[in-house]
Amino acid sequence: MSRIYLDHAATTPMVPEAVAALTAELTRVGNASAAHGSGRAARRVVEDARELLAARVGADPVEVIFTSGGTESDNLAVKGAWFARRDRGRDRVVTSAVEHHAVLDSAAWLAAAEGATAVLLPVDATGRVSEDAVAAGVDERTAVVSVMAANNEVGTRQPLAAVARRAAEVGAVSHSDAVQAVGHVAVDFAASGLDLMTFTAHKLGGPVGVGALLARRGAPLAAVQHGGGQERDVRSGTFDVAAVAAFAAAVDVAVADLAAEEARLRALRAELVAGVLAAVPGAVLRGTLDPERSLPGVTNLAFPGSAADAVLMVLDAAGFDCSAGSACSAGVTRPSHVLTAMGLDDDAARSSVRFSLGRGSTRADVTAVLRVLPEAVDRARAAAAFA
């Protein structure tokens, strides 16, 4: 049975260009930090990739710090910025209530282990932080404020300009987890005004295990791991040359046709949402369809009276790959912290399914899932009624 993949927010298939770049470099010999010829050749691959990535996301090459992915980049940003500023009497780390756990747990760890004060900014019913909340929550005691570019569960985009502006006003370091945004909506690091930004390869057609932290020149950032001093002495570790090359190739492809792909996915998403709301009684959209405030491919739909796990089980058996939220929380029985922060009770939060479209998604995929979803929800509701 061929499967239909509707979980692109969790990870994306590698594009052919990234596969070609990866395989071309796998047989290369030479540590990119070595001074000999093979090492210099490997380093050239890394630096060419750095320049390409920077050009595609509006950064200077020196601002690109390669990491193992989004989680490491978020940890480095939040912890590194806090450690760099705490000696100036700043103890607060401010995040939104709907952040990825890589940010939330970093803030919680700083509070538990280092005495930081962790502050969570509230969100509205669509999952968006208000500019007023940013202004009130970020003050002169703030070391770092981290607000994601777009949410991985409901697709809502955040007011990053307001975050960057308020941080600059009070002298705080500003960071955004843009893992879900880069390659899917226009991103310009220089224009954003942010100090730090996270993104990763496997969310946009590259391999798992490589990502980047963009760090503005002069942004306060302390190392959180130590070793050979690579990457501006804030992220030590031997370069994965093949992965870095594939990362750059994937970003190049994603940005090249971003506008057309975004429009295509928004049309598919609108068709999916309209079809579900028409075919499944009581279905509710979580988040927003506003193109200025949402990702093009992420859709969160709730089916009151059912459990998302039961809906997903039926869909999985029928050949559809979907999820109930972040893949990093798969198997966790507690309700989504994103949905509860949006004001939902536990039962409502547990009824939501995420359908995330991507480069390989088609109208045929949408038609197919609309054909089986009503029965899947009916079966899940029947099971819940007897629970």
- Predicted local confidence at residue 259, as pLDDT: 97
Res. 320: pLDDT tops 80? yes
Q: pLDDT for 268-313, tens place per residue? A: 999 999 999 999 999 999 999 999 999 999 999 999 999 999 999 9
- Predicted local confidence at residue 231, as pLDDT: 87
- Predicted local confidence at residue 328, as pLDDT: 53
Res. 331: pLDDT tops 90? no
Let me know if domain 4-12+257-386 sits in CATH 3.40.50.10480: no
Q: Which residues are catalytic?
A: 328
| Other beta carbons less than 10 A from residue 224's beta carbon | 17
- Predicted local confidence at residue 192, as pLDDT: 98
- Predicted local confidence at residue 1, as pLDDT: 63
Evaluate if pTM is beyond 0.85: yes
More confident residue, 236 or 182: 182
Give dist(CA 75, CA 312) in Å, integer: 31
Question: What integer is the mean pLDDT of 350-364?
Answer: 97
Inter-residue contact 95 to 103 (CB < 8 Å): yes
Res. 322: pLDDT tops 90? yes
Q: pLDDT for 105-117, tens place per residue? A: 999 999 999 999 9
- Predicted local confidence at residue 265, as pLDDT: 98
- Predicted local confidence at residue 386, as pLDDT: 82
Let me know if domain 16-256 sits in CATH 1.10.10.10: no
Inter-residue contact 150 to 181 (CB < 8 Å): yes
Question: What integer is the mean pLDDT of 1-26?
Answer: 96
> For the chain, what are the domain ranges?
4-12+257-386, 16-256
More confident residue, 78 or 229: 78
For residue 10, name the pLDDT band (cuts at 50, 70, 90).
very high
In the chain, pLDDT over 70 holds for what percent of residues? Answer: 97
- Predicted local confidence at residue 87, as pLDDT: 76
Which of 46, 70, 49, 47 is closest to 240 using CA atoms?
46
Q: What is the 3-state secondary structure (H, E, C) of the chain?
A: CCCEECECCCCCCCCHHHHHHHHHHCCCCCCCCCCCHHHHHHHHHHHHHHHHHHHHHCCCHHHEEEECCHHHHHHHHHHHHHHHHHHHCCCEEEEECCCCHHHHHHHHHHHHHHCCEEEEECCCCCCCCCHHHHHHHCCCCEEEEECCCECCCCCEECCHHHHHHHHHHHCCEEEEECCCCECCECCCHHHHCCCEEEEEHHHCCCCCCCEEEEECCCCCCCCCCCCCCCCCCCCCCCCCHHHHHHHHHHHHHHHHCHHHHHHHHHHHHHHHHHHHHHHCCCCEEECCCCCCCECCCEEEEECCCCCHHHHHHHHHHCCEECECCCHHHCCCCCCCHHHHHCCCCHHHHCCEEEEECCCCCCHHHHHHHHHHHHHHHHHHHHHHHHC
- Predicted local confidence at residue 327, as pLDDT: 53
